[in-house]
Amino acid sequence: MLFVKSLTTYYGPIKILKSVSLHLKEGEIVTVIGANGAGKTTLLKTIAGILPPKKGELVFLNQKINHFSPPQRLKLGLSLCPEGRKLFPELSVKDNILLGAFLNQDKKQVEATFQHLLASFPILEKLLNRKAKSLSGGEQQIVALCRALMSDPKLLLLDEPSLGLSPLLTKEILKTILKLNREKNLSVLLVEQNARAALRICHRAYVLETGRIVLEGSGQDLLNHPEVKEAYLGKGYQEVWERE
C-alpha cells in the first residue's frame, strides 16, 4: 500500500532523514519507534506532503505521490493525525472534527461519517459545543483522531497519540486504533514514544535512529530484541502494561 524508498529530507541545510526505506501492506499497523529527535515526525510530515523530500520515492496505492499536495494525498486516502493534536483552540469540537472532511462535498456522506464517529466515541456527544481549548489532553486527542478519521482514510498516519496522556488513557487510545484496524481494516503508520505499547499492538515495526532505520521486524521480535529492550523498553511509566 505504501512504499517509502530511500527517502532523504532536510530542514534547511541539515539532513534529517537519511535514505529511509519502509513499507506498509494494506490492513497492517506498522510502528516506528525512536528517541526524541530521531526524525519520526519528519517522516510522517514527508509522507503527508507537508515537507518535500530531497531524494527518494513515495508510492501510495501504486502511484508515485512525491509531487502530490497534502490535499491530493488526503483525497487518495492518506490522513495525518499530527503530533500535539494541532486543534483550532477557539473553534468548537464539532467544527474541529468537521474540518477533517473539508474536501468532501457530499454533505450526506459527511454527516453519516460524523454520526458513525459519535457512535464510536460516545464521550464526544457532550463535548461537541465546547471550545477545543477547554478540553483535557485526552479529550483533545480523541478529537484530533476523529478529525483525521473524518476523511475516511485508507491509511492513518498517527503521530504520538499518547503524548501527555496517562498510561491508562494511552491504552484506551491504542485499543481504539486496534479496533479500527480490525473492524474497518484501517491501515496505520504509528509513531510512538511508548515503545512497549506500540510494539504490542503492531504487526511490524521499524526502529529509527538519527534519521536511519536501524532495525525492523515483527512487534514481538523487537519486544524481545536486546538492543530494543535496552534502549526503548525501560521501566517506569510503562509498568502498567506489565501487570496485565
Q: Is 152 in the site for Mg ion (CB under 5 A)?
A: no
Contact (Cβ atoms closer than 8 angstroms) between residue 54 and residue 10: yes
Pairwise CA distance, residues 145 & 80, whole Å: 9
Q: What beta strand segments (E) does 47-182 contain?
A: 55-60, 63-64, 78-81, 155-159
Distance of CA 27 to the CA centre of its chain: 14
Residue 56 region, left (φ>0) first, then alpha (ψ -120 to 50), else beta?
left
Pairwise CA distance, residues 144 & 148, whole Å: 6
What's the min distance (Å) between Cβ of 84 and ligand ATP? 9
With CB under 5 A as the contact rule, the residue among 9, 31, 41, 113 that binds Mg ion is 41
Of the candidate spans 39-47, 67-75, 111-119, 202-210, the one that interacts with Mg ion by CB under 5 A turns out to be 39-47
Residue-wise DSSP of 174-204: HHHHHHHHHHH--EEEEE-S-HHHHHHH-SE
How many chain residues bind Mg ion (CB under 5 A)?
3
* Minimum CB distance to ligand ATP smaller for 46 or for 113: 46
Question: Which residues, 60 to 99, sit near Mg ion by CB under 5 A?
Answer: 83
Strand duo 78-81 + 29-33: pairing: unpaired
Instruction: Please tell me whether residue 135 adopts helix, strand or coil conformation.
Output: coil
What's the min distance (Å) between Cβ of 160 and Mg ion? 6
Strand duo 14-24 + 187-191: pairing: unpaired
From the list Mg ion, ligand ATP, none, which binds 37 (C-beta under 5 to 8 Å, kind-based)? Answer: ligand ATP
Pairwise CA distance, residues 163 & 6, whole Å: 28
What's the min distance (Å) between Cβ of 215 and ligand ATP? 15
* Minimum CB distance to ligand ATP smaller for 11 or for 102: 11
* Minimum CB distance to ligand ATP smaller for 41 or for 79: 41
Query: Residue numbers of the site for ligand ATP (CB under 6 A)?
Result: 11, 16, 34, 36-42, 83, 193
Of the candidate spans 37-45, 56-64, 109-117, 198-206, the one that interacts with Mg ion by CB under 5 A turns out to be 37-45
* Minimum CB distance to ligand ATP smaller for 16 or for 180: 16
* Minimum CB distance to Mg ion smaller for 42 or for 151: 42
62: which residues sit within 8 A by CB, 6+ positions away?
Answer: none
* Minimum CB distance to ligand ATP smaller for 28 or for 159: 159
What's the min distance (Å) between Cβ of 188 and Mg ion? 16
Residues lying near Mg ion in the complex (CB under 5 A) are found at 40-41, 83
